[in-house]
Amino acid sequence: MHARVLSPAKVNLFLKVLGKRPDGYHEILSLMQPVSLYDEIEVSVSEGGGIDVATDSPEAPGGSENLAYRAAALFLERAGSAKRVSISIKKRIPVGAGLGGGSSNAASVIMALDGLLGTGFSGQELMDMGSRLGSDVPFFFLRGPALARGRGEVLEPALLPELYYVLVNPGFHVPTAWVYSSLRLTKKAQNNILLYSCEVFADRERLKDALTNDLETVTVARYPEISALKESLVEAGASGALMSGSGPTVFGVFHSREDAMLAYGTLEPRVALPARIFFAEGLTG
């Protein structure tokens, strides 16, 4: 049995860190959208036992160190199955980039195995499995935009207009744990009820004001070039620009494919390795 799936990246259109939880995680509020920047994953199931994971990127570990391995192991345990699983991942989403590539891979492997083995787990059961693997994993089962609360596992589907993105990854990794541990949380009372609507994200000026990421201050302090990337995206015509997740990838938001492609064409010649640039479409489910 064999399946080939596309595993999408995500962007955070806003990300507020509300406080530290007793379990050690951070309480967040974030609006996330999957985008059409994909890893390609092949999953094969055969008789026998064991799990193999291989990637085509030296930056992405194979074997048991890959989150996809843990996802397959957890799924087989929950399904009570002793099959052999082989996973091959072609990486296009940069590693350690704030785009959720590893979390997306884990969710994609679980969904592929559910289909191949015909186990028929409910959507909530799949998301519960994902929450054991990482805070962002449950989001990728929805395949559309969502407001995330808690540590990221409490999800409410959201409606967004057509949005297009130009993403620039500067070519270095930023460890998520380091960013959160370096974040200075203030005890100052603030209104964390963020209003979001299709109207806000359809209007250029209001969208620019709505884009916010509490983690940016930490990452930019060490890597000031992130601010320069945001400025270049706005200068190229983006309605607004923001760092995604814990970074370092920065994205510009566009309301038309034509404007996004024009900006991509303008910026692409200026981006030199190890930096990478991508055009992506917002996915709505």
List, by residue number, the catalytic residues.
10, 136
Cross-strand pairs, 252: 166, 241
> Taking every pair of C-alpha atoms in the chain, what is the biggest distance, in angstroms?
58
Chain length of the chain: 285
CA distance 145 to 138: 12
On the CB side of 94, how many CA atoms lie within 13 Å of its CA? 25
Q: What is the DSSP letter of 74?
A: H
The pair of three-digit structure tokens given for residue 48, joined into one six-digit string? 């026998």
CA distance 174 to 120: 37
Helix residue spans in 39-122 (DSSP H): 67-79, 101-117
The pair of three-digit structure tokens given for residue 60, joined into one six-digit string? 């992405």
Amino acid at 123: G
